[in-house]
A = this chain, B = another copy of it.
């Protein structure tokens, strides 16, 4: 049975006040449209989990949705800091936020534990760092074999993950290419998964290249077909990163009022991603499109 629905309905069904949330995608395929829909539906007290909070969580924090941020690098990639995150962390505005902090590797290992149903995951991480003193979910563990030690992290198991991919069938079997990030782990670790894609495809397309499948229907509860759903992040082969938007966020978010204006214009002022894209305008979208460069084909063979 098809799981295809609208982002409005997916968020309305899947995301409750107080939930822990992982909007996945390391730089690539960040689910901005889902974030905006969560803001529009006025969810509060969320635990926002993401290795890189990025603009998407800065926007959710600015809109007052957050009670806690679990993260490993809270900056504007290649640009600087996240103004709304800093206001919340330093001044408690618009909400106080609790922080749970990891390194990237530690964060990913915690997701790996969650995805694997393991009580902990070892890593050679945090060594010599002050971070373990400030996070009870990081512990030193001795090796049972010989004289060696590691740090271990407890599992991260979000209530809801939103993940994106380039294409999926109606059941949620998805092909994803380019940077994979922590998308698969987030989908496996979460209780409920919203999968948003640039394009819907046939199950046959998925089955033609099973090595390209990163998420299977088993993990997915809702499928949302939403072209440009990652703007100003990107979708490999579909559109590039809108660097202008990242650069200008520094100014937009620097001030409480300008960020409110921005939210009014780009989130509250549109009904859905389609309207957002219309507001962006065709030219800006077209400017982000790469030239075509297909991967060299592979023959899977037909075996009878």
Q: List chain A positions with a Cβ less than 8 A from chain B.
A: 117-124, 137, 139-141, 143-146, 148-150, 152, 154, 166, 175, 177-178, 180, 201, 205, 208-209, 211-212, 236-238, 240, 290-304
Contacts and interface: CB of A to CB of B under 8 A. Distances in A.
Contacts of A301: 236-238, 240, 290-293
Given A205-B296, A298-B166, A303 B177 contact: no
Contacts of A154: 145
Contacts of A152: 144-145
- In the A-B complex, the 9 residue pairs with the smallest Cβ-Cβ separation, listed nearest first, are A290-B301, A209-B295, A119-B143, A237-B299, A139-B144, A291-B302, A119-B148, A237-B301, A293-B302
A300 B178 contact: yes
Contact of A145 (B137, B208, B299): B137
A119 B291 contact: no
Nearest to A155: B145
Contact of A297 (B117, B297, B304): B297
Question: Can you tell how many copies of this chain the complex includes?
Answer: 2
Contacts of A294: 208, 297-300
B211 A298 contact: no
B117 A145 contact: no
A117 B122 contact: no
A122 B122 contact: yes
Nearest to A144: B139
A300 B235 CA distance: 10
Contacts of A175: 298
A139 B142 CA distance: 12
A13 B83 CA distance: 58
A154 B149 CA distance: 13
Contacts of A150: 118-120
A145 B138 CA distance: 9
10 contacts: A119-B143, A120-B143, A122-B122, A141-B141, A144-B152, A175-B298, A201-B296, A237-B301, A292-B302, A297-B297
Contacts of A291: 301-302, 304
Contacts of A121: 122
B122 A120 contact: yes
Contacts of A143: 119-120
A304 to B, nearest CB: 8
Given A152-B144, A298-B237, A178 B122 contact: no
